[in-house]
Each structure stands twice: as C-alpha cells, then as structure tokens.
Amino acid sequence: MERIYIFSRFERFWHWMQALLVIGMLVTGFEIHGSYRLLGFTLAHQVHTVAAWALIILWVFAIFWHFTTGEWRQYIPTMQGVDKIIRHYAWGIFQGEPHPFKITRARKHNPMQAQTYLAIKVLLNPLIWISGLLYLYYNELAALGYGLDLGTIALAHTIGAFLMLAFLISHLYLITTGDTVTEQLRAMITGWEHGDEKNTK
C-alpha cells in the first residue's frame, strides 16, 4: 500500500477552520437558544455573528477553490461499491475486516462519504446560511415590508444546527475507524494518507 499526498494545505486549513467555527457556532448558538449559560446572551450573540460571517467567507473561498481546482468532482455521487461500504460499517468493521475502499488522489472519499458531503454542501449548509441570515436581519427585512415568520426561520435554523451537530458527532466517531485510531486524523493534519497509487488518475 502506497503512502500518498491527499489533502493540500488549503484543504486542511479550510477543514480545521470550518470545524473551529462550526463548533464555536454550536456552542454559542445553543446558549442563545437558552440551553445553558456560559458567555452570557450578549457576548454569545456577538461571537455567533462574527463566527457566522467568518464561516460564510470561508465557504465562499472553499467553493471558489473547489471549482478552480476541479476538486468539486470528489463529491460526484456514485452507488458503485456503496453496498460494500454499508456492509463494512454495519458488520465488517466489528470483525476487524479491512476497509473495502482504497483512497486515491482521484477519489478521496468513499461513496457514502461523497454522498454525505454533497448533501451537506448543497442542502445543509444553504439551510443554515439562509435561515441564519434571515434570522440576523429579520428586523431590517420586516421594516422593508417582508412579512417573514420568525418562528419558521428559527425552527429551520435550529433543525440545521441539530443536523450539523449529528454530522459532527458521527464524523468524530468515523475518523477513529481507520487501521489505527489516529490514522485518519493524522492524514488531515499532515496531508498524507495510505491509499492505492496505482489507481490514481
């Protein structure tokens, strides 16, 4: 098995900054929602707003990077081999079986990962982005005559937050399922991963 360079510097920067901002927004968002008291409402709201704009800017740069480098192709969904991936996570992983998907430069994500990440990029991120902006500028939009239902906006944003939290928890678990507990984490730090160089296109 070859050791190949998979994740570029920008990719790793984008990944870790996004993770930091998302976690920060979850912590402050649930405080704003009244789940607990940590920073206080005013400071939590300020931090949440700054983190939101930073995340939007990061997403814009990431979208530009994906399209200019051609990395958007990594998220093209496919059903090829997805049955083997499902079987692995449902059964094989608990029997010590090797992962059926071999990473290459041309295909960094297995079929389930590609489908999940695509759904996040085209469904979940826009849900959080749009509902958050509508929430943030509700008063200004209302003053302009846009009769938006604040309850619906808040519900949509909260659903998006819980879905992102669910993804974060599952993501943290799945990164521990490599050949070693830290193998996949190390790949996102160094950029290097064990894969199949022969199948690289």
pLDDT per position as a tens digit, 149-172: 999 999 999 999 999 999 999 999
Provide the 10 A C-beta neighbour count for residue 140.
9
pLDDT at position 200: 42
- What per-residue confidence (pLDDT) applies to 38? 93
Chain position carrying tokens 């826009």:
126
Tokens representing 102? 């071999």
Q: Which residues of the chain have pLDDT under 70?
A: 1, 195-201
CATH architecture of 2-199: Up-down Bundle (1.20)
Q: Which of 6, 30, 23, 3 lies closest to 158, judged by CA?
A: 30
pLDDT score for 201: 39
